[in-house]
Structure 1
C-alpha cells in the first residue's frame, strides 16, 4: 500500500521550512534539506523538481498559516479595534519568543531575493497585500462602528500597521529586549485615531 503522500509532503514542507527560515534560500543547500527531511536527493527532486520548487511550496505553506492566524484574530471579535489590539498582543508574544532572531520568513525572503527573483517577489507581495487588506477591512469596520474617527483613512492606516510589523520583524534579528517591542507596539496603537468614549 502506498504511503499517504499528502501527509508525508506536509511533513517535508514543515521540516524544510525550518531550514529555509534559519539560513535563507541562498544559504540553504540541497544537502541541508536532505538531512532535515530524511529524503534522498532523488526523492526530493522527484517531489519538488528543485530546491526552488520546494522553497516556493514552503512559502505558500508559511503564508497560508500566517493568513489563517491573522484572519482568526481580526475577525473573531465584535470590536474591530479590540481585535487589532489583540493581534498586536499576540504578535508581541511571538516576536519575544523568537530568541534566535529568525524573524518572518516572508519578510526575510523579500529582503534576500526581491531584487533577484520577480516571481518570488510577486508571490510574497500578494500574500502581504492580503494581510494588509485584512487590516484595512478591520479598520473600515471600526470606522463604521464609530471606534475610529471619520477622517481616518483605513487604507493608509493599514499600510502604517504593516510598516511597523515589517520593522519589528527586521529588528528582531538584533534580539532586543521585550520592553523595546512593547514600547513600539504601544506607540503604534496610540497613533491610531481611535474615538474616545
Structure 2
C-alpha cells in the first residue's frame, strides 16, 4: 500500500485560507483548493474529510490569529492604560484595512454574512470567536474602570459591544474599497466615545 503523501498542514491551511478569504466558501471549488495547495484531491479529503472540514480548520487558524494579535496589542502598549491600548489597536486596525486594496474584508465577518442562515455549526463557531474578541475589550475596559481610568458608572459591556460593532462596520465597508480617509474619520469618532468615558 502506498504511503500517504506528507505535507505541512499549517502551510496548506494558510494557502486554503487565502482562497476562501478571496472567493468565499460557496464559490470556492475543490479544484481551486487543489491548485492553491498543490495537493491531490485524495490527499485533501484524506486529511480534512471534506471542503467543509478544511474550512472549519481555516476558521480556527484565522480566528486564533486575530485573538493573538489583539492580546499582543493590549500587552505591548507603551502606556499602562487599557484605554490607550485599545486606541492603539484601532489605529493599527485602521492601517490594516487601508492596506486592503482588493477589498477582502474579514474572513469571519464575510463568512457570517454568507453562511449564518445556512450553517448552524459555522455560525456558532464564529460567534464564539467574535464573543471572545468582544470579551477582550470588555476585560480591558473593566480593568480601566476599576483602576479609576474610566468613570465609575461606565457600562463596559455596552462599550465593548460598540467597539465590536465598529469593527464589523469597518470590515464590511472595506469590501467596497472607499476612500481610505473615511476609515480614519470613523475610527476617530469611534474612539471619541471611548475617551469620553475617561474619569
Same fold (TM over 0.5): yes
SS at match of 2:158: helix
Tell which deviates more after alignment, 40-49 or 187-196. 187-196
Unaligned runs of 5+ in 2: none
Q: Which residue of 1 aligns with 2:174?
A: 172
What RMSD, in angstroms, separates the aligned Cα atoms of the two structures? 1.6
Tell which deviates more after alignment, 69-78 or 48-57. 69-78
Q: Select the residue among 95, 103, 106 that pairs with 1:104.
A: 106
> 1:176 deviation in Å?
1.1
Q: Which residue of 1 aligns with 2:69?
A: 69
Q: Is 1:34 matched up with 2:37? A: no
Runs of 4+ in 1 over 4 A off after TM superposition: 2-5
> 1:3 deviation in Å?
9.9
SS at match of 2:154: coil
Q: Across the two proteins, how many residue pairs are aligned to each other? A: 194
Structure 2 CA distance for aligned equivalents of residues 117 and 38 of structure 1: 28
Alignment of 1:157-168 (within 5 A): 157-168=159-170
Structure 1 CA distance for aligned equivalents of residues 42 and 132 of structure 2: 35
TM-score, L = length of structure 1: 0.94
Q: Which residue of 2 aligns with 1:152?
A: 154
Alignment of 1:76-87 (within 5 A): 76-77=76-77, 78-87=80-89
Structure 2 contact 59–108 (Cα < 8 Å) conserved: yes
